[in-house]
Copies of this chain bind each other. A is one copy, B any other.
Amino acid sequence: MAIRLTDVANEAGVSLATASRVLNGSARKPAAEISDKVRAAAEKLGYFPNAQAQALARASTKLIGLVVRDIADPYFSTIARGVQRGLGDSGTQLLLASTDSEPEREIEAVRAFMSQRTDAIILSGSRGQSEDDGLLKLIENYQENGGQVVVIGQPLASTGGIQVDNETTSENLAGELIRAGHRKFVVLAGDENLLTSRHRAQGFLSKLKRTGLAAVDVFHGAFSREGAYMAMSDYLRVRKPEEADQQVCVFCVSDVMALGAIRAVRESGLRVPEDIAVVGFDDIPTLEDVTPSISTARLPLEEIGRWAGEMVLSHGDARKMVVTGTPVLRDSSRLHSDNR
C-alpha cells in the first residue's frame, strides 16, 4: 500500500541500497547528483520510511516508554512534559501508559513496552511497597536484553533514576513548620502501601517526634484528591471540641491531596489557614492559581522529567541522582497566633 523504499529506488533508477543510504543517516554518502535524484523521487512519491522495518533491520526502535499513574494529574503531566523536553529533537518517540494505580496495569504497560522493544522505560508510577515481584522480574529481563530503565521517585536496586529523598524533604518541611510556630499537627498519610506516601509521612512524623512534639493524628486513605477529601472529612468529624480552639496544621503527602483537604475544610465552613493550616508536597503548577497560596515542599517536577529523558538519551550508565525538595511556606500555613 504505502510507498516503499524499493519504489523510490526504482523511480530514481538506483539500487535499494543506494536509496537507503541517501535517505537515512548512513556513513557512506552517495554522490550528490544521485542523492538529489533519490530525494526528489522520495519527495515525489511521498515516501515515509517504515519505522517497524527499520527497527527490525537495525536493532533499535527509537521508542521509549513512560508509565505514569494518571496523565491528568498535574504531577505526572508536568513530569511527562519534562521527559518530552528532555528527549528534545532526538527523534525518539514517546509511548505513554497510565496505570490508574493498579499494579497489574503497570505490569501490563511494561510488558507492552517490552514487546515494542522500547529502548528505555521510564517508570514514574506506583512503586508499591512490596516491590511487586512480578515487576522486578520483568524489569530484570528487560535489562538483560539491553533495555534501559529509569525510575522516578523510589529507587530500584538495579536501575538508574532520579530518586526523590522524600523522607529528608518531609523532615525539613516539618522543621520549617515548627520553626514558624506550629505545634499541633495532623498527617493525611495517603496510601500506606505506596512507598512515596509512606516515606513522606514517616519523615514528617519522625521529625516531630525528635522535636518532642505531642502525638498527632494520622489518617490513611487513597493517595488522591478524593482520598484526602474523605480523610479530612473524617478528621473534622471526629476531632474533639477542644481541638477546635487551636489552629492545627494538616500535612498532606501531596499537593493534590492538599487540594482535596482544603475543599473538605471549606465545605465544613472552616477557613484555611485561620482554623486549619494545610500543607502539601510537590509544588505542582496548579498551586500558582490557588488561594490561599499553598505551602509545600518544592520538587523540580519538569526538570526531573527532563533529566530522565536526557538520561535515557545518553544511553549511558544507569546513573542515579537524588533530589531533595525545598520547603516553601506560603499562606496556607500562616500561623494564626491570635487563636484560642
Query: Which residues of A pack against B, CB within 8 Å?
Result: 1-2, 46, 48-53, 55-56, 59, 61, 70-72, 74, 77-78, 80-81, 84, 91, 93-98, 111-112, 114-117, 141, 145-146, 259, 262-263, 285-286, 288-291, 302
Identify the interface centre among A48, A55, A59: most chain B CB within 10 Å of its CB: A48
> When chains A and B are docked, how far (Å) is the Cα of A156 from the Cα of B263?
41
Contacts of A289 in B (CB 8 A): 259, 262-263, 286, 289-290
Q: Which residue of B lies closest to A65 (CB)?
A: B93
A55: chain B residues at CB < 8 Å are 52
* Residue of A111, A263, A290 with most chain B CB atoms under a 10 A cut-off: A290
A111 to chain B: closest CB distance in Å?
7
Q: How far is the CA of A38 from the CA of B94 in the complex (A)?
A: 33
Q: How many copies does the complex hold?
A: 2
* Minimum Cβ distance to chain B for residue A4 (Å): 11
Bound Cα distance from A309 to B95, whole angstroms: 16
Q: Is the CB of B72 within 8 A of A77?
A: yes
A288 touches B302 (CB 8 A): no
Contact A145 B112 (CB under 8 A): no
Cβ contact of A80, chosen from B52, B71, B145, cutoff 8 A: B71
- B52 touching A61, Cβ below 8 Å: yes
Residue of B nearest to A262 (CB): B289
CB-based contact A71/B95 at 8 Å: no
Q: Who on chain B is nearest to A138 by CB?
A: B46
**Contact sample, A vs B, 15 pairs, CB 8 Å cutoff:** A1-B145, A2-B145, A46-B141, A48-B111, A48-B114, A50-B117, A52-B61, A52-B116, A72-B78, A72-B80, A80-B96, A94-B95, A94-B96, A259-B288, A290-B291
Whole-angstrom distance between the Cβ of A19 and the nearest chain B Cβ: 16
B1 touches A115 (CB 8 A): no
A-B pairs, 6 with minimum CB distance: A72-B81, A77-B77, A52-B55, A52-B52, A2-B145, A51-B115
Contact A112 B84 (CB under 8 A): no
Q: How near does chain B come to A37, taking the closest CB pair, in angstroms?
A: 21
Look across to chain B and name the residue whose beta carbon is closest to the beta carbon of A259. Answer: B289
Chain B residues within 8 Å of A115, by CB: 48-51
Nearest-CB residue, chain B, relative to A140:
B46
Residue of chain B at shortest CB distance from A256: B289
